[in-house]
Amino acid sequence: MKKALIPLGIFIVLVVFLAIGLTRDPHEIPSPLIGKAAPLFSAPILQTPGQAFNSKDMLGKVWLLNTWASWCVACRQEHPILVEFAKTKSLPVIGLDYKDKDAEGLKWLDHLGNPYDLSVADRDGRIGIDFGVYGVPESFLIDKAGVIRYKQIGPITEEALRDKILPLVRELQKS
Amino acid sequence: MKLWLTLFLALQFAFSAYAAEAVPLAEDPVVEQRMLIITEELRCLVCQNESLAASRADLAQDLRREVRGLIKANKTNQEIRDYLVARYGDFVLYRPAFKPMNYLLWFGPFLLLLGALVVLVRLVRRNQRNAAPTPLDPAQRAKAQSLLKDPGLHS
């Protein structure tokens, strides 16, 4: 009798593993960069291409790097949330216009509003590669020491903002 | 004359547009060969079930460009793989690294095989024990003999 239950036991364990597997998103690949220093970069500012932004200047501040592009569909979904969030002035938000034409990017900001303190142009996507970006939008929360503390894969949602990002921002700003 | 000139210019424009769309081939076949060998064992993060060598995704093209650049900068294959792992994690490797976190992945199938073998051996032994023939007593033997001789069974 007991032996007959062994296959059932194995089956249940298998079902539990498969069920857990179903709840996970295969497109969310954990970033190896979390807990590591954010790659340093210097790139032209979208609005004033003559000037460059250097990520070193952000040391000492908690800030959010948000990758976006005018061709990115999911960014359209995220954008209004970012615009609202920018009004709270919780932390500096820097945009990384990933593999975009500058003119298209500027047009997008004109039409849909500009939540960014500034945006930089990553025309060939090299900065994106250094950050391990594989699908815009992705966002990185970077602490005062320049360490990546959190990565949002896909659009920032109101829930992610409320439950994960803002509590972490407050904690990081205190330290 | 003017028509010909217009046509000529239009054709030129058409061809230049075509050229811009073609995927740029590396000018150096040796670099290209090594790039393919390296990227065949790396996963494209956008399509996931395609290698970086085969994928037509935008990111894959950019990463092939980066790999070409690294080859030209005289990096070893291992250095190039490390470059990608540092950015995208172990997930980019089709051949998982041999390290403690992955031991279950490497040894798991062999453990399962070992477990299956143990079960198989025990089952076979038990069957052999149960199947050991018990000798017939004289009365049973006689009955069997008579049954075998019974012509009625053969008709």
Asked if the structure places residue A59 within a domain, the reply is yes
Residues of A with CB under 8 A from a CB of B: 26-27, 29-33, 99, 124-126, 129-132, 134-135
CA distance A97 to A123: 8
Of B62, B66, B91, nearest to A29 by CB-CB distance is B91
pLDDT for position A49 = 86
Binary contact (A32, B90; C-beta < 8 A): yes
Asked if the structure places residue A24 within a domain, the reply is no
Query: Are A134 and B45 within 8 A, CB to CB?
Result: yes
Asked if the structure places residue A136 within a domain, the reply is yes
Expressed as residue numbers, the domain containing A49 is: 35-174
pLDDT for position B12 = 57
Side chain identity, residue B124: V
ipTM of the complex: 0.83
pLDDT average, residue stretch A143-169: 95
pLDDT average, residue stretch A147-166: 95
Side chain identity, residue B97: A
- Count how many domains chain A has: 1
Query: Are A152 and A139 within 8 A, CB to CB?
Result: yes
Q: Taking CA atoms, what residue in B is nearest to A38?
A: B87
How many residue contacts between A and B have a Cβ separation below 8 Å? 40
Question: Taking the CA of residue A87 as centre, how many other CA atoms within 13 Å lie in the half-sphere pointing to its CB?
Answer: 6
Mean predicted lDDT score pLDDT of chain A: 94
pLDDT in tens, A93-115: 999 999 999 999 999 999 999 99
What homologous superfamily is domain B16-95 in, according to CATH? Cytochrome C biogenesis protein (1.10.8.640)
- Closest of A131, A116, A126 to residue A78, by C-alpha: A116
Query: Are A53 and A45 within 8 A, CB to CB?
Result: yes
Min Cα distance B50 → chain A (Å) is 14
Ordered DSSP codes for A52-91: EEEGGGGTTS-EEEEEE-TT-HHHHHHHHHHHHHHHTT-S
Asked if the structure places residue A11 within a domain, the reply is no
* Tokens found for residue A6: 């062994």
Binary contact (A30, B86; C-beta < 8 A): no
Residue B116 reports pLDDT greater than 70: yes
- Give ∠ CA B25-B28-B34 in degrees, rounded to 5: 90
CB contacts of B85 in chain A (<8 Å) are 32
Where do the domains of chain B lie?
Answer: 16-95, 98-130
pLDDT in tens, B47-88: 888 999 999 999 999 999 999 999 999 999 999 999 999 999
Of A30, A32, A134, nearest to B86 by CB-CB distance is A32
pLDDT for position A93 = 96
pLDDT for position B3 = 61
- Give ∠ CA A73-A76-A80 in degrees, rounded to 5: 165
pLDDT for position B154 = 57
CA distance B114 to B89: 31
- Closest of A117, A121, A124, A112 to residue A67, by C-alpha: A121
Which is more confident, B18 or A97?
Answer: A97
Asked if the structure places residue A85 within a domain, the reply is yes
CB contacts of B48 in chain A (<8 Å) are 26-27
In the structure, what pLDDT confidence band is assigned to residue A90 with cuts at 50, 70 and 90? very high
CATH for A134? 3.40.30.10
Which is more confident, B34 or B26?
Answer: B34
Asked if the structure places residue A23 within a domain, the reply is no
CB contacts of B70 in chain A (<8 Å) are none
